[in-house]
Structure 1
């Protein structure tokens, strides 16, 4: 495979190649094996300086690479902590574009002059970031709003950069060991999905509506309401929230502020996030202190819903189990869960050594942080060990670790005594109950019934096929070592249960059909024969279930 250099992209390829040369040289030496004859060492200061230079270079390359750096700041499985901390700086403000450019975009998107859409629109932005900037405005009805406007030319620039990154990632996956382990194409695809969603501000408006609903029961958590008529692909308008970023609070500063109930806010924010992640499977993935405001009436406001993390349903209880195991200091259990939810790419993985590293990490953190365990940092370190061992964990776990790390920082500012593991244990039973309640929702029950219908339809055919193979002695089962007599007895039990299940199904179907016949005698208004068949099927079915459970219990 060769990289295809489109003429209009040559400069970007050159810039990216220079970036790799400046910041990837040590990895290249290690990958070629030359580290055996060349000592590749860096002091902590040198590592910190390299991380700072990487951040500066990403920032100088524009919005795509700023966003890429922000994504990498969540990937503790790829980068050491020094780099993650340095990349955090990419969250800071960047130089704004001119008011005239912003006004032109607003008028193009809203299809009306800016003074018709708004009673007033401030020329100086409240904040400027890599993709857009926010201006204070006032609607015709007097409401104060914040208007987020996308910078000009962003979509075209990012689409070109994504094409270049995709080419480079595919090349590295095909020709480098690192690519085969980490699958850079998958990382670029994830980045493409994330940044494409951020470029469409209508999605952010929809996220604001969604999270206002999800967090409606938390009276001290505020999500600004969007103004739908003034939201488009490049403009999103929402109510203006007055407050100060939690980043301006010193640790424990809320204790001396009578207007802020720090312990209550810390607890409610943490509980809201546990609900988002473990119940709803959707969470605000960027709760850094600048995106969480303390409002003038003593509440917490969540801002910037452009980046949303998602957790598939089957993973949510495992993440809860993982967090509880971390809080309880059960390193072996943490390692087992990491292996279960991860994708092991290194066939030569020493599982016992991997478990030992995870256990040592969990034990070390517990011994050194007796008063307050930093759950977010520990999750990120677990992801780092998994990555270095060739175990690819779901991206949702690294996003969760980053979110928890930020929440830990905010909680310490609000309440220095707040204990995240204790809160997780306290909420565990409620979270599981909510999960079960969601699984018993009408849509989930309907889905289960549809799957059962498919099973009932296919069961007779499959049972006939198995019985036919048994009868003609053509059933083959590959087993290395077995007790032939026990195996045959077991197969006979299976065959008997299948035959009984098919017979019971026939009784139920027959009863259902006779219900449609107007036949005498009748019982309770229905044909008696139908009720007899239903009763027989119910008794026989219950007996079969009891016998199966009893035999299984006895054989343990």
Structure 2
């Protein structure tokens, strides 16, 4: 904290200027707040943070907070739609910096001036953002490339803001119920990892190469190659792709492109990434998909990539198939497996909400079901039921929403579900393949071996914890009622059984000792005794059944 005093002061001033005094206190920034002439602010009270105020605050705080706002705009599983819509208006576009600064970064990282590395280097940027700036260039061998250069000083500034944002998030989570409910600390940690990765251009370069290798055999798809000799952490040089933006319907028609076929091919490409590759382009907006003269789809900008584990992919596929088949139970169970609850789960309420979604879709033509509506409904269910949805699934739903919109623009008859469901069903049918189960068996064997080696360590820590703290058992009051009723019933039967046993023993002794004296009355006495015992035994048998009653209470 001592090294960031000035930045803390700036953040406190921005919050107070936007009327967020209580939030500033909850964020641990009270000492830097200006003197309040209008009275005392209770730090325990939450501010009325309206969407427009939140957007303005992020804008005022600069690059890191704008990007954090953009990340939050996708979290409809955590935030109300009004906030996500408002945060979606944030943009990190900035004016270009002087080309001399760009040249200095290239020289520092690659050890030579742009004039030595490239046959030509366009001094006018073709794109600029808060972190990097893009220039067109030509390699010495005549190939056209684009060069993305990270702006100088960005890392230090972003690193400082991320450290402060993490500290603020921890304070907010401790002092505010709202920020605690959404798990703001985890959101900030997740955002920090993504932003740090975005600033390292070698990560994007490797992702681009990986997608290029996967689609190398498909001539309908063009992924740019990386020129590693002129690339580094701060400089990324890749093939320059040219073509018509995928949403420019007029230009596509002028070139005679079959838009129906293009919509299907674009969708198939992105779904193959999800269901086959396990990684997907998380931002396939129209500016990142270029249609080349021969109809090839060029894909650029792999700075945002989503990742799917095999389990996540299977559960997502189950949700898709369950929705397609109108099966609320399948959708609900797969949703819980994909997004574990953050607290107690009301499965009945979850199934009711899922049934509501399916009812809203029932009877509608597939072309009328928009992915944006389905996604928003699903996010609302996740938010209401407090399910912890993985960030990559959020990216996936966003990607599918973008694809659905592009497909409809290219072809009004396009239905994403027509393309999506066969992929999902094919994935689930793989579970009938013996090779699938052989793979699962290998995984289970490895897990068992790893668990067996770690078990002694876990057991030792468990014993140490028990010795130190003991065991706490938490029960709610309503949970005691069935238990008390059960114990009372067992006690009743136990006491009655003891009485009956005493009667049997005593009666037997009396009969044996007085058989001669009772004479002909011995038989009736014995019969009456057995009748009492039979009635008592019947009572015990009846009350011992699950549906029996003791003292008028249900078992």
Settle same-fold status: TM greater than 0.5. yes
- Tell which deviates more after alignment, 393-402 or 286-295: 286-295
1:493 match: none
The answer to whether structure 1 residue 14 and structure 2 residue 5 are counterparts is no
Q: Is the 8 A contact 1:331 1:363 kept in 2?
A: no
Quote the offset at 1:369 in angstroms.
Answer: 5.9
1:301 match: 298
Q: 1:361 aligns with which of 357, 362, 376?
A: 357
1:182 match: 182
Q: Is the 8 A contact 2:340 2:389 kept in 1?
A: yes
Distance in 2 (CA, whole Å) between partners of 1:10 and 1:454 is 46
Q: CA RMSD in A?
A: 3.7
Q: Label 1:61 to 1:291 Cα distance change in 2 as closer, same or farther (>3 A).
A: farther
Distance in 2 (CA, whole Å) between partners of 1:296 and 1:317 is 37
Q: 2:262 aligns with which of 244, 265, 268?
A: 265
CA-to-partner distance for each residue in 1:131-166, whole Å, 9 max, x for gaps? 111110001111010111111211111111111110
The answer to whether structure 1 residue 381 and structure 2 residue 390 are counterparts is no
Partner of 2:274, secondary structure, is helix
Q: Label 1:57 to 1:118 Cα distance change in 2 as closer, same or farther (>3 A).
A: farther
Distance in 1 (CA, whole Å) between partners of 2:81 and 2:22 is 17
Partner of 1:392, secondary structure, is coil
Distance in 2 (CA, whole Å) between partners of 1:76 and 1:438 is 39
- List gaps (5 residues or longer) in structure 1: 41-46, 459-479, 482-556
Q: Is the 8 A contact 1:265 1:299 kept in 2?
A: no
Distance in 2 (CA, whole Å) between partners of 1:330 and 1:415 is 29
Distance in 1 (CA, whole Å) between partners of 2:291 and 2:144 is 18
1:313 match: 310
1:345 match: 342
Distance in 2 (CA, whole Å) between partners of 1:191 and 1:132 is 18
1:205 match: 205
1:505 match: none
CA-to-partner distance for each residue in 1:167-204, whole Å, 9 max, x for gaps? 11111222322233222111111111101111100111
Partner of 1:344, secondary structure, is coil
CA-to-partner distance for each residue in 1:233-256, whole Å, 9 max, x for gaps? 011000000023334447xx85x3
The answer to whether structure 1 residue 69 and structure 2 residue 65 are counterparts is no
The answer to whether structure 1 residue 143 and structure 2 residue 143 are counterparts is yes
Quote the offset at 1:323 in angstroms.
Answer: 1.8
Distance in 1 (CA, whole Å) between partners of 2:445 and 2:333 is 33
Distance in 2 (CA, whole Å) between partners of 1:429 and 1:99 is 52
Distance in 2 (CA, whole Å) between partners of 1:137 and 1:445 is 52
Quote the offset at 1:222 in angstroms.
Answer: 1.8
Q: Which has the higher contact order (CA 8 A, sep 6+)?
A: 1
Distance in 1 (CA, whole Å) between partners of 2:131 and 2:453 is 53
Q: 1:335 aligns with which of 319, 332, 336?
A: 332
- List gaps (5 residues or longer) in structure 2: 27-40, 455-482, 487-555
2:191 match: 191
The answer to whether structure 1 residue 290 and structure 2 residue 287 are counterparts is yes
2:169 match: 169
Q: Label 1:279 to 1:92 Cα distance change in 2 as closer, same or farther (>3 A).
A: same
Written as runs of structure 1 = structure 2, the 5 A alignment for 1:230-269 is 230-249=230-249, 254=252, 256-269=253-266
Quote the offset at 1:307 in angstroms.
Answer: 1.2
Partner of 1:196, secondary structure, is helix
Distance in 2 (CA, whole Å) between partners of 1:437 and 1:99 is 58
Written as runs of structure 1 = structure 2, the 5 A alignment for 1:369-518 is 371-432=367-428
Quote the offset at 1:19 in angstroms.
Answer: 8.4
Q: Label 1:374 to 1:23 Cα distance change in 2 as closer, same or farther (>3 A).
A: farther
CA-to-partner distance for each residue in 1:323-363, whole Å, 9 max, x for gaps? 2223344444323322222221233x543223222321332
- Tell which deviates more after alignment, 316-325 or 291-300: 291-300
- Bigger CA radius of gyration: 2
Distance in 2 (CA, whole Å) between partners of 1:89 and 1:266 is 27
CA-to-partner distance for each residue in 1:53-109, whole Å, 9 max, x for gaps? 644543443321232122112211123334434444445743211111111111111
2:530 match: none
Give me the TM-score of the superposition, normalised by structure 1: 0.70
Distance in 1 (CA, whole Å) between partners of 2:332 and 2:133 is 43
Q: 1:280 aligns with which of 277, 285, 300?
A: 277
Distance in 2 (CA, whole Å) between partners of 1:68 and 1:330 is 37
Quote the offset at 1:449 in angstroms.
Answer: 6.2
Distance in 2 (CA, whole Å) between partners of 1:429 and 1:406 is 22
